[in-house]
Amino acid sequence: MPPNQQLPTVLPIEVLEGAEVSQWFGLEGALSWVEEPEEPYQVTSVVWQHDSVPFLQLGRVDLRLSTGATLSILGQIDGMYLAHAAEDDYDYSSPTTRWRELRELPIGVLRLLQVRRDGPYLLEVELLVGSATVRLLAAEVEEQLDGTLRICEPDESVLVQLNGTRPGL
């Protein structure tokens, strides 16, 4: 971390209770990719979704609230946490990550249905938005040697489901 940058202030997840989300954004992470073995290394194939993975994999989920504030749910190795959003850099992308608006997620008033923790870390959060359930899980999709994909938790990504399936299905 650069010396001038401060750690974000962690907010209690209960801040979301009764807040109204008007827009969702996410830094989507590829589930798997192929790199050329020769320098310069280039990514030649990227898998963003797979039938065996009923989640979107995100490094950060931003909730833009009706008040104009933006809050982020961020992943780290031991779980996730809620903080005020850092500077919006939604133009950033790499061969294996991309920012995008998550239009498939519902907007409206948030209700906390379930929060699972391990000490200070959030492991799982379920939010009710209207009649839809958004599930956030501190986990990551890992590609195995045989090419299959496995969900490992807790881990540094935020996996997102909508009503028990990958959003957009």
Domain ranges of the chain: 10-162
Q: What is the pLDDT of residue 90?
A: 72
Q: What is the pLDDT of residue 112?
A: 98
CA 167, distance to chain mean position in Å, is 12
Q: How do the pLDDT tens digits run along the chain, 169 residues long?
A: 444 455 668 999 999 999 999 999 999 998 877 766 766 677 677 878 889 899 999 999 999 999 999 999 999 889 999 999 877 667 777 888 899 999 999 999 999 999 999 988 999 999 999 999 999 999 999 988 888 899 999 999 999 999 999 998 6
| Residue 52 to residues 81, 142, 165, Cα–Cα distance (Å) | 27, 12, 11
Is 13 in a helix, a strand, or coil?
helix
For residue 8, what is the DSSP state?
A: P
pTM: 0.88
Q: What is the pLDDT of residue 2?
A: 43
- Per-residue b/e over 133-154, b at no fewer than 16 CB within 10 Å? bbbbbbbbbeeeeeeebebeeb
CA distance 70 to 6: 18
Q: What is the pLDDT of residue 94?
A: 81
